[in-house]
Structure 1
Amino acid sequence: MHRILIVDDETIFRRGLRKMIESSGSGVWEVVGEAKDGYDALEQIEQLAPDVLLTDIRMPRMDGISLQQIVKERFPKLRVIVLSGYDEFTYLQQSLRHGVRDYLMKPVEREELFHALGKLAVELDAAQKEQESHAPEPPDAARVRQQVSEHLVAGLLRGEVHASELALLGRIGRPLDEPCFACMIIKLDKDALDQDRYAKADPSLFQLYIQQMVQELLDQKAKGFAFVISDTEVVALINVKQQPQAEEELTLMSASIRKRMISLSNLTVTIGLGRILEGADSIPQSFAEARIALLHRLIVGGDRVLSYSQTRQSHHELALDVKEWSWDLLETAIYEGKIEETQQLVRTFITDLCQHAKSPETIHQQLCKLLIYYYEQAEKLQLTKAWLGDKTIQSAMLELCSITSRAELIDLCSRQLGRLAGCMAKSPRQQGSDPIERALRYVKQHYRQPLTLRDVAEHVYLNPAYFCTLFKQRTGKSLVEYWTDLRIHEAKKQLSSSNEKVTVIAESIGFGNVRHFNRVFKNATGATPNDYREQARAMIGHS
């Protein structure tokens, strides 16, 4: 119920108003008190905290105009309705200046009073709902919400939380309901920071500052959540729509974070950016890609955005820089677990690199790219611990970059990659079944779907480049040729045994474009699908 205080110097009028309001029977209003003048009213307002003040204008000691002025300053949320027997425009003007909600003439008509109170009831109800929606949280609510969000997102990054649990983030105010996700790792360039400045402050404060700044930018430009994962790193999980410009927008956002850090705090950061992938189940992959991208900081330096897509291009360029024969042979030797052959090929590779590189920095950069490349493959096969032991890939790269002797480089890299070949040989995922046989079964089961070389290679836990070479060696065909043969074979069966339209048959075997199907079919058989159908039926008729 809303509370009313009646102020009038005439007792009979106060009681008449009380009775009129109470007789309404609406249950909306309660008369909590009566006051005979402005002074009395102020005391009761302090004690009773009414929502509405019904006040006369002409009263002894303190009139209604003075009362309104004081109420406006001390009780700004209190609504005022003025009652007066004096039909004077000056009173109306003064009352309106003080924010009076209504001005009623004595004697007050019942309908007129109830109409004025009805409008105020609607206003008070709306204000109450607004206040409830912005009610202050319990002191620890924000901290609990942050901890729950961090726990869920950390689980998503590790692949330990099911995608269905994303709904929990929505319930605590962090909805991630767009179809695609990308991960970003923001690393403080500690080596570029004034050491006195870093030493005098709690290191966690730097990360908290970065996290808050990143979260503010995410709240403005995208859906996402940022939190601290180490003394020098903040991770951001970003939820985006599936659209062509999404990757460009994400790169621009990363650049904006880097520039804002410099301008606002004179801190520099390096940002590793994973690809935008569809589905919550892809979050761990994007997170791993952001880590891989960030490793290139050791090669090209900090204070920049490093995207995984760009680093993949650099791996491709590395393969082109190396003699084609040596790259393919090295891939094959490592994935087949041939330790001595791997070590010999590494020696050949580094010797050739040192002879043709333009500077020592180029040699270190190329070898670091090589380590990062195989680190990514080891991660996918869960062989990193077996390969590097307690050493991190960062420390392995730093050790490599500290060497200036060709002989020492050859010794270190041949031992490292030789050890990886040994891990490959012992890997249970490389044993127990033939990878090409598994790949053939997989393609037969999924040939109607859009497949890529990477899809099939990852299914059998092989590097795509090595898988491509091995598949051709074992089958005499490329994967695309084998896949196409399966689809054409199925198309021939359907053309011969059914009356389905060519368009329907093309779609059933995975061709979205019937013109492309007609072209591929004719290249493979020498006839169009319709001509083949006629020839096949003619042969059946003759037999």
Structure 2
Amino acid sequence: MKIRKHGLAEAVCNAGGRAGGVHPYCELLCILEGEAELEWSGVAYPANGTALFVILPNTPHQLVQRSDTLRYWYAEFHAEEHDPLPAVDVVYQWNGQQGGIDWDGDPYKALRAAFQAVCMLMTAESSLPWDLFAEALASDLRKLLMLLTGAISTRTKPAPSYSSSETVVSETMRFLESMFPQPLTLRTIADNTHYNPSYLVRLFRKQTGKTPFGYLNELRLNAASEYLLHSRMSVQQISQACGFQSIHYFSRTFKQRFGAAPSEWRRDRRG
């Protein structure tokens, strides 16, 4: 595990404030105090008092403050092969549970103690050599990931029942959300579900009102808008990072969606 960026933050008198973006790293986001929502891949996940979110690489996310005071820590990291990163379906399940966890009950007490230890370590960062701090932080994050996976596996609450078509569409959406920067074809998307491409398109449109590529295009444009707002990347670099094979197609579809070309849209909002 390689630590990319981390921080311990307290936002006061900032209800409605936002923080986040898109980056090619895993991230742990721990709410310590206050109310907030994590807007992640088009879904809002509420947090009240305590929450621990896992954010997958290349997925657009925004933390929206809902109370006057909000305390949280975050850590972005590059996960290596031996790191205990939960499976994608486990991450979605876990993030969806954050509004209703009893952190005083089993098996969550150990998990809470682990993320409080990360908070204490970040508080003491200035008194430690960087190499020692980074090694200790990586160790604590690995422990959190292992405990998180264990907490999910021991949870006894039954999963909601979905029809087979809903499951297929949900799996397809998750696949697109995690793979949107990659060059994808309808065959590639269909192969992931083991369904005929034309049948998958009909099923997806019936459930969502759009095609798989329509949804994929939304993901890419949303990610591009975050890059434009929060990075210094060129329009060409953003186009490539979001999976567009042509900067001309990117510029045209971005203007159709947001009403201005990417460079103009960035200039108007960043001043």
Q: Give the TM bin, normalised by the shorter chain.
A: 0.3 to 0.5
When normalised by structure 1's length, the TM-score is 0.19
- Over alpha carbons, which structure has the higher Rg? 1
In terms of fraction of residues, the more helix-rich structure is 1
In terms of fraction of residues, the more strand-rich structure is 2
When normalised by structure 2's length, the TM-score is 0.38
